[in-house]
Structure 1
Amino acid sequence: MTIQIDASDGSGSFGAYLAEPEGAPRGAIVVIQEIFGVNPGIRKKCDDWAAKGYLALAPDLFWRLEPGIALDPDVPEEFQQALGWMNQFDQNKGIEDIESAIRAARAKLPAGGKVGVVGYCLGGRLAFMTATRTDTNATVGYYGVGIDNLLGEKHAIAHPVLLHIAGADHFVTPDIQAKMHAGLDDHPKVTLHDYPGEDHGFAAEMGKRRSEAAAQLADERTAAFFAEHIG
């Protein structure tokens, strides 16, 4: 189902895909989209978290540009459209909307319930920003782009962070990966996992980018991480 969340700046409201577990939730997970919007792959990730007992929420972060964007990365024209949307996207506003989604998720939990965030691609970068700028209880980023440019914010990380790095990511080259390790390996709240030979998008739920063994390994690590820190 889709719910509406009020934007914190008073500019309107945006949709969020909601998947609820059977019975009381063990916590909540906010799923941050790739550049392709809240498409079937992102919705499936929410459904899978709900099957594990979490309330899962995927906010439509491109709503200020055009509500309801849902693109297929395997269709060249739609891939190009996604790049165009990304170039117009205001990441700071995106973080505000993620924070609103965290609050909406927390409001659906019993008192004291914890909220985690997981993001992919653009969402992996936004996940790191969420860890430094919001009160999320735990954060996971998959193949986040440009995190080396955000290392100046690492002092603000107060809760556990897990980052999955694709070793052959053509958007995150080896020199950038080296900067991430140099900047974060000694951070007490941050854990980095490398996936040698894997390309950007390897954990996509569907389509040509998925690499099954690496996706399963990363997702198992993510599930264990949230079980430890969210519930």
Structure 2
Amino acid sequence: MLPFLIFFPGVLDGAWTVHYSERNLCAVRGSTVLIQCEYGYPEPHKVNSRMWSHNDVDCTGNPYVYHSNNTNISAEYTGRAEFLGNNVRNCTLQIKNIRETDAGEYRFRFTTNGCEKCGGPGVTLQVDELKVVMTSSTVNGTIREGDTVNLTCGTNSCSLSQSEFSWFKDNQTLPETQSTLHFSPISYHHTGKYSCTDILPFLYSLKQGSPTPVLESYYPVEQVWLIRRQVG
């Protein structure tokens, strides 16, 4: 077997780096957000502390979202923010039960024996409400059998990072997982109240090296649509 080497950017090349997988994230209130992050530093430095800040360009914490030394942690994130990284390369942060006040920019910073690095610009998180929007082929707004109707699960301000959804008709789960339900043609048996939730995809923990279970978050949908048969 031939020997091989794996080089991690920023670790063996002498660079001080912080890299975010995505610069912009969108989440609905009450969901769980994963901010995937990697960092690097030259040998022979050793990491002393790791921290995440919110809306703080200097990464100095006012207070912190997370700090490995449990220093100056914001009460807003206590019990909700969890560091999924390590002392080597992974700096991924998870925030549960997302609130509107969580919107903004997140930056990672780490210190070693002699140096430090603040990763900016960071990751911008937008928080919105999930809702169902209906579009149809009808002209006057009255839906009749034979029309084409689409129900789309989404938000007003941003595109959700999640790729799959759960749909419900009269509180019963439907098999569809795409963002839009298509009814073409619509018929009387489609009548009902529809709602949707987002499903977080498989999240790969770099710390454990294996997929974690699928996380599901259910949200009350403010807008549901009643589709009625019209005669004539």
Given the two structures, how large is their TM-score scaled by the length of structure 2?
A: 0.26
Greater per-residue strand proportion: 2
Kindly name which structure, 1 or 2, has the bigger radius of gyration based on alpha carbons.
2
Greater per-residue helix proportion: 1
